[in-house]
Structure 1
Amino acid sequence: MLKVGLTGGIGAGKSEVSRLLASYGAVVIDSDRIAREVVEPGTPGLAAVVAEFGKSVLAADGSLDRPKLGGIVFADPERLKALNAIVHPLVRDRSAQLEAAAADDAIVVHDVPLLTENGLAPLFDLVVVVDAAPQTQLDRLVRLRGMAEDEARSRMAAQASRDQRLATADFVIDNDGPLADLEPRVREIWEALRERARDLSRPN
């Protein structure tokens, strides 16, 4: 099994890279999706979040009001740290379960937005960073996701810097251009990952 960490700043296009890798045959374990699952209604995770932040972070239907919680934690590093202390262990445990269920010869891609911030690079055989210029990230967040510019800048500032992310990379996928340019780059990385996986499987 080849364990790959995939990361990138918000708006860099990591989700599209993840989707492409899955289409080629990678087993993708999406930390963001798991982070949503572990705080669904009725879970111990949601109960812990409410105990920490109060019932005001719940929507009328009892689910987590993500914009409300985001407004609290992204404006206050200490509150963000408190949220991460609840969610990250739950995500880590679920990710480990999914990885254990993968085939021995699988290429397992852990899609982890905060890989750099949390010092997780040593957990993986290789790290792939999806890279885009900060101005490109900001443009995508405002134009494509409809974020207010202040909110987008706040989200970006809460993450590692571009240089910090690139320092963890074994492979870099440049996604500063149009989507049509991305697929060939991801395919090239996939072939490199397959070659590395073959190397791992060869007897010494």
Structure 2
Amino acid sequence: METTTLSSPKTKPLQQLPLRMHHHAYTTDDHEANRRFYEDVLGIPLTAMYIEKELIQGEWIELGHAFYGLHDGSALAFFNFADENKQRIWKAREQSLFVHISMLVEASTQAEIKERIAAAGMESFIMEHGICTSLYVKDPNGLLVEFTVDHPDATGIAAEMAERAQRDLKRWVAGDRTPNNRWRPDVADGNAKG
């Protein structure tokens, strides 16, 4: 089997990249608590609820599969297994805060979501990443949900980072941990390698 190395990539990009996210799936222990959070607190509508029997790893599993619609036609999807033991097993496979979803929003939408979260008595936090500003909240399932406002020059930043992506990856693999996000406030003091 041939492998691709960082020094000489052999794979070509797809002729056409995926069009957009179709959906992001996660489990939920309680569809109604989940609906209240996404629909009533955040204002993201429930657009479909499939009740299914699905063949998973050779076994027919009964599950409820809810979709909450986003502006571009993509969705947040949540599974709940009818069998509580299977629900527990599948949920345990999900990971930490690094497993999260991020949705692009306008600054006004981020502010509205922040107000809605506070009005619901929930906690959220904001992180300034330089390239974007993100509002984070945990949903009833423990999934971290991020609402991201891009930097005003997001297109220019993306072009610059794409041009240097291979070089930066090689640098990381070689052990060079010098930050390169010069837009982030905590590295804007000249410590970033640009």
Q: TM-score, normalised by structure 1?
A: 0.25
Larger Rg: 2
Which structure features the higher share of helix residues?
1
